[in-house]
Structure 1
Amino acid sequence: MRNMMTDLSNHLFEAIERLSEEDLTPEQLEMEIDRCEAINKVAQTLVSNAALAVKAQEMMYEYGDDRQIAIPMLTKQEGD
């Protein structure tokens, strides 16, 4: 997997920067708002997915299974 949570963070900050541009027309601003809303929905899903993977790892440790599982977007995979 190439994308990491740091990449998601970078995309979110880039969206904030675009919204902060003072020379946007009202139409351009509305388009950026719509785009940011879509990015936000996807970001929430990705964060929820990562949180679930972390919770699964915690439960494995808690119940005696010490295998290390790869958590998508939090750890690099072999071959990346």
Structure 2
Amino acid sequence: MKNKLSDLNDHLFAQLERLSDEGLSPEQIENEAKRAAAIVSIADQVSRNTDQRLKAAKLFADHGAVIMPMLPEIGNGTK
């Protein structure tokens, strides 16, 4: 996958810029607000997933290979 957390950050700031456009009509503002809500929802899920992966990596760092049977995604190179 080509997407990185820095790309997510770029998308969030781009949406913020769109919401800050003072030339938007009320209807456009409403549409952008809905779009922003959808983006934030997805961004929250990406953040939660990233947090889970970091927690798994910390478990591996703290406990070594003994934890691998409980964390199969860390060591198999598929993700």
Q: What runs of 5+ residues in structure 1 fail to find an aligned partner?
A: 73-80
Q: 1:61 offset after TM fit, Å?
A: 1.0
Which residue is 2:47 aligned to? 47
> One-letter code of the match for 1:52?
Q
Identity level (%): 37
> One-letter code of the match for 2:63?
Y
1:27-61 deviations in Å (ceiling 9; x for gaps): 00000000000000000000000110010000011
* Structure showing the higher helix proportion among its residues: 2
Determine helix, strand or coil for the equivalent of 2:21. Answer: coil
Q: 1:25 offset after TM fit, Å?
A: 0.1
Which residue is 1:19 aligned to? 19
TM-score, normalised relative to structure 2: 0.82
Q: 1:8 offset after TM fit, Å?
A: 0.2
1:3-37 deviations in Å (ceiling 9; x for gaps): 00000000000000000000000000000000000
> One-letter code of the match for 2:51?
A
TM-score, normalised relative to structure 1: 0.81
Count of aligned positions: 70
* Structure 1: distance between partners of 2:7 and 2:61: 28
* Structure 1: distance between partners of 2:57 and 2:2: 21
Based on CA coordinates, which of the two structures has the bigger radius of gyration? 2
Q: 1:64 offset after TM fit, Å?
A: 1.9
